[in-house]
């Protein structure tokens, strides 16, 4: 018993006589033989950060793989060129980067062909996925309704539930009754669940409202949809 106490004493003494060195990261001093070392707290924090970064990167990859952005726009760079694009780009940033997602308003981009509505929106969707890890999905109205027609209900639902949804090429053709019902139901659901939707169309604002019908148009008005008119020459082939 006495012998143990003595050897413990010796151990304590030898520890006390050891030099102390600061942890390379936090600077806290520890008694150690190594002059350069990382303390166990910092090591643990570092491993956690590495793991979080790995999970984040995995999530971003996953969201990119399901966003449905067409190949033509997969490498779109969020760099507005025209005045209207600059205005919309600023709104995109304020609407989706500077406040919680549930406070984001719906947006309507309408007007002339080839003015960069799809390009800018896809470029922004890619930013939102990469920088905020938010699920954004892109689809044309035709493709969306075709999913329903093909009985791809799970896929159809994944667009209905997407955190942010871009519906492009709205109103290219008249809708059959079942199409109107499905589109209205999907958009009403998103409106009620406060899931932001971005509407893109070549129709004028007035024709877009007529196309949607009174009920939806009225809801969008209530939701303070932000409207942007694209005018000017087509940017295609410049
Ligand atoms: N900010 C930009 N930077 C680089 N290229 C751009 C930009 N905006 C538009 N473009 C180019 O202009 C082309 C037309 O843009 P986009 O397809 O987005 O037009 P749109 O308004 O969606 O037209 P439509 O109404 O016919 O669908 C794009 O394919 C792209 O090459
Ligand atoms: Mg387009
Ligand atoms: Zn440390």
Span 61-108, pLDDT tens digits: 999 999 999 999 999 999 999 999 999 999 999 999 999 999 999 999
Q: Any idea which fold 69-230 has? A: Rossmann fold (3.40.50)
Give residue-wise pLDDT tens across range 183-216.
Answer: 999 999 999 999 999 999 999 999 999 998 888 8
Residue nearest to atom 9 of ligand 1 (CA): 116
Show the tokens assigned to 175: 């809708």
| 75-78 contacts at long range (C-beta below 8 A, 24 or more positions apart) | 76/119, 76/120, 76/122, 76/123, 76/126, 77/123, 78/120, 78/123, 78/124, 78/126, 78/127
In this structure, are residues 84 and 229 in contact, taking their beta carbons and an 8 Å threshold?
A: yes
Position in ligand 1 atom list of the atom nearest CA 85 = 1
Q: What is the DSSP letter of 106?
A: P
The answer to whether the Cα torsion of 62, 64, 133, 151 is positive or negative is: negative
Q: Kindly tell me if the per-residue pLDDT of 182 is higher than 90.
A: yes
pLDDT > 60? residue 1: no
Please tell me the predicted confidence (pLDDT) of residue 193: 94
* 131 contacts 57 by C-beta, under 8 angstroms: no
Is 80's C-beta closer than 6 angstroms to any atom of ligand 1?
Answer: yes
- For residue 109, give the ligand 1 atom closest to its CA: 21
State pLDDT tens for residues 113-168: 999 999 999 999 999 999 999 999 999 999 999 999 999 999 999 999 999 999 99
pLDDT of 2 strictly over 60:
no
Contacting residues for 9 by C-beta, under 8 A, at least 6 apart: none
Q: Which residue spans of the chain are classified as CATH 3.40.50.300?
A: 69-230
User: Which residues are in the CB-under-5-Å shell of ion ligand 2?
Assistant: 118
Give residue 3's pLDDT band: very low, low, confident or very high (50, 70, 90): low
Rounded CA separation 226/228 (Å): 7
Helix, strand, or coil (residue 200): strand
Q: What is the rounded distance in angstroms from the CA atom of residue 139 to the CA atom of residue 67? A: 9
**Does the beta carbon of 140 sit less than 6 angstroms from any atom of ligand 1?**
no
Would you state the pLDDT for residue 24? 92
**Residues β-bridged to residue 109:** 200, 228
Buried/exposed code over 20-48 (b: 16+ C-beta within 10 A; e: otherwise) = eeebeeeeeeeeeeeeebebeebeeeeee
Q: Please report which confidence band the pLDDT of residue 111 belongs to, taking 50, 70 and 90 as the band edges.
A: very high
Q: Which helix (H) or strand (E) holds 70?
A: none
| CA nearest to 121, candidates 62, 206, 197, 178 | 197
What pTM did the predictor assign? Answer: 0.89
């Amino acid at each position: 018993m006495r012998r143990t106490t003595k050897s413990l004493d010796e151990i304590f003494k030898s520890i006390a006589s050891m030099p102390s060195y600061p942890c390379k990261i936090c600077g806290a001093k520890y008694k150690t033989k190594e002059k350069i070392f990382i303390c166990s707290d910092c090591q643990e924090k570092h491993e956690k950060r590495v793991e979080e970064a790995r999970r984040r990167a995995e999530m971003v990859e996953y969201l990119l793989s399901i966003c449905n952005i067409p190949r033509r726009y997969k490498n779109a760079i969020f760099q507005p060129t025209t005045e209207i694009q600059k205005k919309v780009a600023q709104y995109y940033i304020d609407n989706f980067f500077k406040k919680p997602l549930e406070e984001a308003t719906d947006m309507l981009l309408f007007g002339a062909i080839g003015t960069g509505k799809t390009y800018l929106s896809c470029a922004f969707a890619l930013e939102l996925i990469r920088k905020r890890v938010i699920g954004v999905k892109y689809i044309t109205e035709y493709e969306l309704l075709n999913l329903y027609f093909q009985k791809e209900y799970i896929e159809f639902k994944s667009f209905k539930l997407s955190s942010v949804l871009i519906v492009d090429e709205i109103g290219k053709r008249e809708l059959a009754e079942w199409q109107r019902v499905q589109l209205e139901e999907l958009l009403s659901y998103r409106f009620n669940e406060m899931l932001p939707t971005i509407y893109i169309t070549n129709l004028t604002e007035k024709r877009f409202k007529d196309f949607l019908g009174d009920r939806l148009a009225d809801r969008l008005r209530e939701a303070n949809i932000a409207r942007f008119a694209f005018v000017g020459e087509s940017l295609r082939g410049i």
